[in-house]
Amino acid sequence: MPARAHGMFQTFWQILRAPVPRAHRTELLLGLGIVLLFLLQAATGVLLALFYQASPPTVAESVQLIMRDVDWGWLVRGLHHWSASALLLVCTVQIAWLLASGRYRGRSASSWYLGLLALGLAMLLAYSGELLVWDDRAFWRITHALQQVESAPLVGRWLAHVLRGGEEVDATTLGRVFTLHSLVLPWVLGFVVAGEAWFLARRMRANAGGVA
């Protein structure tokens, strides 16, 4: 550690050099996997948003532009698509591991709640992303999904109306799905992932440094 490094860098260095208690090894690796895949999603998502146009007449054209004319566009879109599935898979494995190892209780409960939230958000992100191509399959998927939402008691009709932006699935719906996918859900997931990391770091710190 250079002598002139101060403040935040010193803290960061201390975190990097801290021993990882064996009890938290798997949780840490799964958490880091989620963070890395989330960052990959964010980076490729920003690149895609530079060329994507959320308007029904031009969606197909912009997607074809990304796949054919933009340099490495096919790779960026492919990475965005497959890393979404990978993120979902890692979130699922994390929940299964937390349950199997009994880490849903006591001081680990925060990981359980945030893990469940992350899984739900990753699923919503993946699903809303599939709709953005706005082809026949996406149109009928969102129509069917909104019918399911509508059938939910109490708030179903109102929620479906808000998501659809009216009575029918049209350009407004696409705009709302795009806003959810690119502006709302990523930030919420980012905060949830950051919260998971913070709680894990706190537990690791409380458990570090023992000898036996």
Partner 1 sequence: MIVVLKPGTSREEIDEVVAVLARRGVETRVITSGGKPVVHLISGSTRKARKLLKLDQVEAIVPTSGPRVRVEGRRFYPYYVVHLAATAVLVLGALVVLAGHFPPGLGDPIDPHRAPAALEWPWYVRAPMAFVALFPPTAAWLGWLCLYALLFAMFFLPWIDRSRDDDPRPKWPLVAVALFAAGWSFLTFAGVVR
Question: Whole-angstrom Cα distance, residue 155 to residue 167?
Answer: 16
Map residues 93-132 to x or -, x wherever contact with partner 1 holds by CB under 8 A.
---x--xxxxxxxxxxx--xx--x------x--xx--x--
Selected binder of partner 1 within 48, 54, 79, 121 (CB under 8 A): 79
Question: Whole-angstrom Cα distance, residue 99 to residue 113?
Answer: 11
| Under rule CB under 8 A, residue 163 binds partner 1 | no
Question: Whole-angstrom Cα distance, residue 87 to residue 127?
Answer: 13
| Under rule CB under 8 A, residue 69 binds partner 1 | no
Q: Are 153 and 29 in contact (CB under 8 A)?
A: no
| Under rule CB under 8 A, residue 19 binds partner 1 | yes
| Under rule CB under 8 A, residue 157 binds partner 1 | no
| Under rule CB under 8 A, residue 134 binds partner 1 | yes
- Report which residue type is found at 188: V
Question: Whole-angstrom Cα distance, residue 39 to residue 51?
Answer: 19
Neighbours of 132 (CB within 10 A): 18
Distances from the Cα of 29 to the Cα of 32, 45, 70, 80, 90, angstroms: 5, 24, 35, 21, 10
Q: Where does this chain touch partner 1 (CB under 8 A) — which range of 46-54, 136-144, 159-167, 176-184? A: 136-144
# residues near partner 1 by CB under 8 A:
70
- State which of positions 172-201 bind partner 1 (CB under 8 A): none
Selected binder of partner 1 within 48, 83, 186, 192 (CB under 8 A): 83
- Report which residue type is found at 172: T
- 5 alpha-carbon distance from chain centroid: 34
* Residue ranges in contact with partner 1 by CB under 8 A: 15-23, 25, 28-29, 32-33, 36, 40, 56, 60, 63-64, 67, 74-75, 77-79, 81-83, 85-86, 88, 96, 99-109, 112-113, 116, 123, 126-127, 130, 133-141, 143-144, 169, 206-212
